[in-house]
């Protein structure tokens, strides 16, 4: 028996050994080949999977962080609410702000605050865990504005006796030293509407008839940019004592050139270029004697007149459309308090839009407008109230050219033109 046969019979042959039999037995060499590794047992866990015996991750709770700026100021106060510093725990879900009785959501939110209140931030993370920040007080400061109860300066009686129902008054910026006014009715001999130019001494500088325009009840006037960006006169035919008008109107036209030192310019005519904005009230028919033109936005406002002091402010929806009848938009109430008369008879806004004056027959209501606030929001705050000089039928109010003193004139022939400075 050969050696190989003996091994085979013994059952100990290695399958990984190969014998080269092509050579003589004396030259035979043996090559050793290593077999590839075997796969791991199928019941072993995959090596790329995390262990299953670790404890679950900890639940991270949120921590609310509220930043409220500014926290004090005059109403209406625009407040920025910021929750970006919040630790959201297991991920953000909801940031809810409670501002007085109002609830808003958002990581960063702007709100308008009208009275002293508290702000609370409540945050909820992705797992539903809740955190509440400490409340932040927002304080509305009392208005600080000048009193106009000082003695007025008499500039003079109106020299033009035909200006006997002066309902509106404005100081020109294009023609320094010139004032504009109007009656509240049609006038003869032309049975139409006109505006009057007068000096700071109440002397007549001329009158200008508006071709094709009839006055139902002219009650107030404004001065501000027209379609070309230049100063135009805006005359509000908005009165309606009998509550019977379906529409009201505001007429606007380029301000005529008048020389304050040129004496009485006589009669002039504005034959063209008068645009009429026609409006209707959004609800019941109202009466009005006051309009405002915001120099910051160019928006037109109309203020209703109510004997019980519960007036309302309306806005013309932009843009201006002289060829349409437009429904006014209600901005909000204007409640007249602490005055003998509660009838609003005129209004005026400073040239930069920062000060708003509204008058009744007896008192002045003055608002200092916060920077960046909408004009319509101003009237929701408390005004400063001053008693005006006694006047018989005083309806008009205007800012002098310096935006510090106020001007007023009553109705009647030869009525006194007054300049009212603030108290020192």
Mean pLDDT in consecutive groups of 10 residues from the start of the chain, 424 residues: 40 41 42 49 56 65 95 89 93 92 95 93 92 92 83 96 95 96 86 93 96 94 93 97 96 95 92 95 97 97 95 97 97 92 96 96 93 91 92 93 96 96 88
Question: What local confidence, expressed as pLDDT, does residue 18 receive?
Answer: 40
Question: What local confidence, expressed as pLDDT, does residue 4 receive?
Answer: 38
Question: What local confidence, expressed as pLDDT, does residue 393 receive?
Answer: 85
Q: What is the 3-state secondary structure (H, E, C) of the chain?
A: CCHHHHHHHHCCCCCCEEECCCCCHHHCCEEECCCCCCCCCCCCCCCCCCCCCCCCCCCCCCECCCEEECCEECCCEEEEEECCCCECCCCEEEEEEEECCEEEECCEEEEEECCCEEEEEEEEECCCCEEECCCEEEEECCCCCCCCCCCCEEEEECCCCCCCCCCEEEECCCCCCEEEEECCCCECCCCEEEEEEEECCCCEEEEEEECCCCCCCEEEEEEEECCCCCEEEEEEECCCCCCCCCCEEEEEEECCCCCCCCCCCCEEEECCCCEEEEEECCCCCCCEEEEEECCCCCCEEEEECCCCCEEEEEECCCCCCCCCEEECEEEEEEECCCCCCCCEEEEEECCCCCEEEEEECCEEEEEECCCCCCHHHHCCCCCEEEECCCCCCECCCEECCCCCCEEEEECCCCCEEEEECCCC
Question: What local confidence, expressed as pLDDT, does residue 45 receive?
Answer: 54
Domain ranges of the chain: 67-140, 153-420
Question: What local confidence, expressed as pLDDT, does residue 51 receive?
Answer: 59
| CATH 2.120.10 matches 153-420 | yes
| CATH 2.60.40.10 matches 67-140 | yes
Nearest to 406 by CA among 355, 339, 352: 355
CA separation for the pair 352, 285 (Å, rounded):
32
Question: What local confidence, expressed as pLDDT, does residue 43 receive?
Answer: 54
Question: What local confidence, expressed as pLDDT, does residue 301 receive?
Answer: 98
């Amino acid at each position: 028996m050969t050696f190989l046969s003996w091994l085979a019979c013994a059952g100990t042959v290695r399958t990984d050994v190969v014998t080269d039999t092509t050579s003589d037995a004396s030259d035979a060499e043996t090559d050793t080949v290593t077999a590839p590794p075997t796969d791991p047992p199928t019941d072993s866990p995959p090596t790329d999977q995390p262990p299953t015996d670790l404890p679950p991750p900890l639940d991270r709770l949120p921590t609310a962080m509220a930043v409220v700026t500014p926290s004090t100021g005059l109403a209406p106060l625009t407040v920025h609410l910021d929750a970006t510093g919040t630790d959201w725990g297991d991920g953000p879900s909801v940031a809810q702000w409670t501002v007085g009785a109002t609830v808003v959501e958002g990581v960063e939110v702007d709100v308008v605050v009208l009275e002293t209140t508290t702000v609370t931030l409540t945050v909820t993370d992705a797992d539903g865990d809740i955190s509440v920040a400490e409340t932040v007080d927002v304080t509305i400061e009392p208005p600080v504005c000048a009193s106009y109860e000082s003695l007025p300066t008499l500039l003079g009686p109106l020299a033009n006796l035909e200006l006997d129902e002066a309902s509106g008054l404005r100081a020109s910026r294009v023609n320094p030293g010139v004032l504009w006014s109007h009656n509240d009715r049609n006038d003869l001999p032309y049975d139409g509407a006109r505006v009057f130019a007068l000096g700071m001494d109440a002397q007549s500088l001329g009158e200008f008839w508006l071709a094709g325009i009839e006055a139902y009840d002219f009650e107030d006037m404004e001065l501000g940019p027209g379609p070309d960006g230049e100063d135009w006169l805006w005359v509000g035919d908005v009165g309606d004592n009998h509550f019977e008008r379906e529409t009201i109107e505001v007429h606007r036209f380029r301000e005529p050139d008048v020389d304050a030192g040129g004496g009485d310019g006589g009669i002039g005519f504005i034959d063209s270029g008068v645009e009429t904005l026609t409006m209707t009230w959004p609800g019941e028919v109202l009466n009005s004697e006051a309009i405002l033109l915001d120099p910051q936005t160019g928006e037109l406002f109309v203020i209703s007149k109510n004997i019980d002091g519960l007036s309302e402010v309306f806005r013309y929806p932009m843009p201006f459309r002289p060829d349409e009848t437009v429904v006014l938009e209600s901005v909000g109430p204007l409640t007249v308090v602490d005055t003998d008369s509660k009838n609003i008879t005129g209004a005026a806004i400073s040239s930069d839009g920062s000060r708003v004056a509204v008058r009744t027959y007896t008192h002045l209501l003055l608002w200092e407008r916060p920077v960046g606030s909408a004009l319509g929001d101003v009237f929701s705050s408390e005004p400063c109230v001053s008693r005006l000089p006694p006047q018989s039928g005083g309806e008009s109010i205007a800012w002098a050219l310096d935006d510090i003193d106020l001007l007023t004139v009553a109705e009647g022939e030869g009525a006194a033109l007054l300049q009212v400075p603030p108290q020192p």
